[in-house]
Amino acid sequence: MQPLYYDIPAYKISVIATPKCANSSILDLLRPLLPSELPHKSNPHHMWGPMKISKERIAEVKLDRFVLAIGRNPWARTVSHYEDKVNKTLHERLRQYGFYQGMKFEEYLKVLSDKFNKINDLHVASQKEMFHSGEMLLPDLILRQERLKQDVDLLRSMVLSRYQIELPSLAHINKKTKRHYSEYYSRENRLVVRKLYSKDIDFLGYNFENKEKVGK
């Protein structure tokens, strides 16, 4: 299972690297903060392996950490998971739930809905649950995949001001889905995702059109 929580004690920064939310790009961006003795690896997830930490540990040290997370519109995140982990190449661990390579999106959503509470996979897990330990909200800042460049500029400024370290410009590690996510959905399918991820949608303040609600 892919690690989700990472910690950089030297800079008192923890990262919640939410799958399917441009987490590879963010982890790559933050490489300059990693210990210099770590062997360089092209895959940012492999590079960050020694820095993994538990959710419980982040909750314990939160008062002494700046906790960074990454969020995304659940309708778009669902399409990203479908295309990357099921349609193009099936992740073998998903086969046990009834997914198969090349299945239609409508069928994928039906399996996702039927088996949602049984699927042990962070790529489809609730973002709100990832960001909380009990009633405690862990992140101090949630970057948004939809406005990643602007949010990354804010993060780079913060790191430069606090640590005098200039992070590189944002690089997109993984390719984006060619079609806009809205093209995948009928009205009925939109409601399926709304039901599955209602807590995420309300907590993060999204609507289907990929915009955050006013006041959120």
What b/e string do you get for 128-153 counting C-beta neighbours within 10 Å, with b at 16 or more? bebbbbeeeebbeebbbbbebeebbe
In a domain, 216, yes or no: no
In a domain, 137, yes or no: yes
In a domain, 209, yes or no: no
Are the CB atoms for 69 and 16 separated by under 8 Å?
yes
61-71 per-position pLDDT tens digit: 999 999 999 99
In a domain, 212, yes or no: no
Arithmetic mean of pLDDT, 70-83: 96
pLDDT score, position 212: 44
Q: Which residue has the tokens 């370290």?
A: 165
Cα–Cα distance for residue pair 89/192, rounded to 1 Å: 23
Q: Which residue has the tokens 């923890």?
A: 14
pLDDT score, position 213: 44
Q: How many domains does the chain have?
A: 1
Domain with 108 in it: 5-204
Whether the pLDDT of residue 209 is over 50: the answer is yes
Whether the pLDDT of residue 6 is over 90: the answer is yes
pLDDT score, position 177: 66
41 falls in which pLDDT band (50, 70, 90)? confident
Whether the pLDDT of residue 176 is over 70: the answer is no
Whether the pLDDT of residue 128 is over 80: the answer is yes
In a domain, 177, yes or no: yes
Arithmetic mean of pLDDT, 71-98: 95
In a domain, 37, yes or no: yes
- pTM for the whole thing? 0.90
What b/e string do you get for 80-113 counting C-beta neighbours within 10 Å, with b at 16 or more? bbbbbbbbeeeeeebeebebeeebebeebbebbe
In a domain, 168, yes or no: yes
In a domain, 34, yes or no: yes
pLDDT score, position 1: 52
109-120 per-position pLDDT tens digit: 999 999 999 999
Share the mean pLDDT of the chain: 91
